[in-house]
C-alpha cells in the first residue's frame, strides 16, 4: 500500500459535513452491518447541493438526514440525487429523499431497474430453481434456505423508488454547478455502477468499484448462474487504471478518500488472481464443489450470512476460471456439480 495515501485520515462523525474540496462536502451515514458506514457526498450545484448516494432506509438514517437538512443545510436546498448502484446502502433512501426534498433521481438504467425488479418480486429468490442452485453446488439446506430470504431483506432496506428517473449513461457529460463530470460505469460489484470523474479538478467518485482497504464484493447470484462478474470487475479495474490519471483524489463509497488510484486498481486485480490460484491449487487434489472451496478462499469462521456472500464470491472465481479454461465442470448422478483442474489456461485476451 506504499503508493496509497489518505489525505483525510479522520472521517466525519455520522451526519456531520466535512469540506474536502471547494464545493465538495463529505458525510457519513451508519449501516447496520460489519461495514458500518456509507459515504455520501454533496457537490455544490448553483444555489444548492447535488447529493451522491442516499444511505439505507431506516429510522436512524432518516433522523440524521432530517438533522442535516434542518442544521448545516438549513437555508440551502438540495437540487438532485445521483445514485451509483442498486445496493441498499446507496439506493435505500433514494425514494424517501427525492420525495422529502422534491428532487429528481439520476442513476443508471440497470440500477433503477434492478431495484424496481427486486422490489416487485422480493419472494423470487425462494423459487425452487434458485434453491436447487445452492444445493447442487454442495451447500446445506440451511444455507439454501437462508439465501432465499435475500429479496425480503432487500425490501426492508429500500424505500419505494420514485416513479421517474433520469438515465445516466457511460460517457455522458453532466454539469454540476461550475464543474463538468464525465459519467463512467463499472461492472462486477453491481451492474452498470455509476462513477463520476471531474478532469479539471482531478476528482473521482468510484462508489464501491474501488475502495482503499477492502475488496468490493463480487458475487454470482442464482439468476445468472453462469455469469462472470469477476471478469467484468477486473476489466473495469484495468480500464480505470489505463484511462484515468494516477493523481486524482478518489472519493469512494466506503472507508477513506485516498490517492494512489493506479496502485489500488492493480492490488485489486492481484488480490483476485491470488484467490484463483488458491482454488487452482486445491482442485489439484481432486474435484471439489463450490461449497468445498469456500473455506479454501475464506479460511476463517463465517456465520450463515457471511457464508452466503463467501459462497457467491467463491463461485465468481470458479466461473472466471471456467471461462479461462482452467477448470472443468461435471455434474454427478446426484446433481452435485464438481470442478477439476484442466491443466491448461487460455490467454486473458482470448476471453
Residues in the site for Zn ion, rule: CB under 5 A?
Answer: 87, 89, 208, 253
| Residue 293 contacts residue 281 (beta carbons within 8 Å) | no
Nearest to 327 by CA among 281, 260, 274: 281
Q: Which residues pair with 182 in a beta bridge?
A: 173, 197
Q: 23 in the Ramachandran plot: left (φ > 0), alpha (ψ -120 to 50) or beta?
A: left
Q: At what angle do helices 59-70 and 94-101 cross, to 10 degrees?
A: 30
Nearer to Zn ion by Cβ, of 92 and 148: the residue is 92
- Least distance CB 87 / Zn ion (angstroms): 4
Cell readout for 160 is: 419505494
User: How many C-beta neighbours within 10 Å does residue 145 have?
Assistant: 14
- Least distance CB 42 / Zn ion (angstroms): 18
Distance in angstroms (rounded) separating the CA atoms of residues 234 and 252: 17
Furthest C-alpha separation in the chain: 68
- Least distance CB 272 / Zn ion (angstroms): 17
- Least distance CB 211 / Zn ion (angstroms): 8
Nearer to Zn ion by Cβ, of 154 and 339: the residue is 154
- Least distance CB 89 / Zn ion (angstroms): 4
Q: How much of the chain is in helix, strand and coil states, percent to nearest 5?
A: 40, 25, 40
Nearer to Zn ion by Cβ, of 230 and 321: the residue is 230
Nearer to Zn ion by Cβ, of 109 and 129: the residue is 109
Nearer to Zn ion by Cβ, of 111 and 261: the residue is 111
Distance in angstroms (rounded) separating the CA atoms of residues 267 and 132: 35
- Least distance CB 38 / Zn ion (angstroms): 6
Distance in angstroms (rounded) separating the CA atoms of residues 264 and 286: 34
User: How many C-beta neighbours within 10 Å does residue 34 have?
Assistant: 8
Q: Which residues pair with 194 in a beta bridge?
A: 185
Nearer to Zn ion by Cβ, of 45 and 208: the residue is 208
- Least distance CB 301 / Zn ion (angstroms): 24
Nearer to Zn ion by Cβ, of 141 and 271: the residue is 271
Amino acid at each position: 500500500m506504499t503508493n496509497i495515501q489518505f489525505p483525510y485520515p479522520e472521517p466525519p462523525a455520522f451526519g456531520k459535513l466535512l469540506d474536502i474540496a471547494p464545493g465538495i462536502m463529505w458525510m457519513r451515514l451508519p449501516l447496520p452491518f460489519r461495514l458500518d458506514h456509507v459515504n455520501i457526498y454533496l457537490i455544490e450545484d448553483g444555489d444548492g447541493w447535488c447529493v451522491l448516494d442516499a444511505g439505507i432506509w431506516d429510522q436512524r438514517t432518516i433522523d440524521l438526514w432530517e438533522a442535516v437538512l434542518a442544521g448545516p443545510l438549513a437555508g440551502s436546498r438540495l437540487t438532485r440525487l445521483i445514485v451509483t448502484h442498486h445496493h441498499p446502502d446507496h439506493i435505500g433512501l433514494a425514494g424517501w429523499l427525492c420525495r422529502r426534498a422534491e428532487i429528481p433521481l439520476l442513476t443508471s438504467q440497470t440500477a433503477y431497474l434492478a431495484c424496481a425488479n427486486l422490489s416487485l418480486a422480493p419472494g423470487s429468490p425462494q423459487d425452487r430453481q434458485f434453491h436447487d442452485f445452492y444445493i447442487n453446488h454442495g451447500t446445506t439446506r440451511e444455507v439454501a434456505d437462508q439465501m432465499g430470504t435475500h429479496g425480503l431483506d432487500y425490501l426492508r432496506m429500500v424505500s419505494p423508488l420514485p416513479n421517474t428517473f433520469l438515465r445516466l449513461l457511460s460517457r455522458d457529460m453532466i454539469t454540476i454547478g461550475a464543474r463538468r463530470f464525465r459519467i463512467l460505469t463499472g461492472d462486477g460489484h453491481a451492474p452498470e455502477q455509476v462513477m463520476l470523474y471531474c478532469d479539471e479538478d482531478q476528482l473521482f467518485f468510484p462508489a464501491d468499484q474501488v475502495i482503499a482497504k477492502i475488496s468490493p464484493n463480487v458475487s454470482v447470484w442464482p439468476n445468472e448462474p453462469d455469469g462472470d462478474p469477476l471478469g467484468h470487475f477486473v476489466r473495469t479495474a484495468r480500464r480505470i487504471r489505463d484511462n484515468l490519471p494516477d493523481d486524482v483524489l478518489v472519493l469512494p463509497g466506503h472507508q477513506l478518500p485516498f490517492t494512489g488510484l493506479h496502485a489500488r486498481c492493480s492490488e485489486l486485480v492481484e488480490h483476485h488472481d491470488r484467490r484463483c490460484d488458491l482454488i487452482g491449487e486445491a482442485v489439484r487434489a481432486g474435484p471439489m464443489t463450490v461449497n468445498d472451496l469456500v473455506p479454501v478462499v475464506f479460511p476463517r469462521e463465517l456465520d450463515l450470512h457471511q457464508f452466503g456472500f463467501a459462497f457467491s464470491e467463491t463461485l465468481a472465481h470458479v466461473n472466471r476460471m471456467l471461462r479461462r479454461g482452467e477448470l472443468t465442470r461435471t455434474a454427478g448422478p446426484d446433481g452435485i456439480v464438481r470442478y477439476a483442474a484442466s491443466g491448461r489456461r487460455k490467454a486473458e485476451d482470448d476471453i
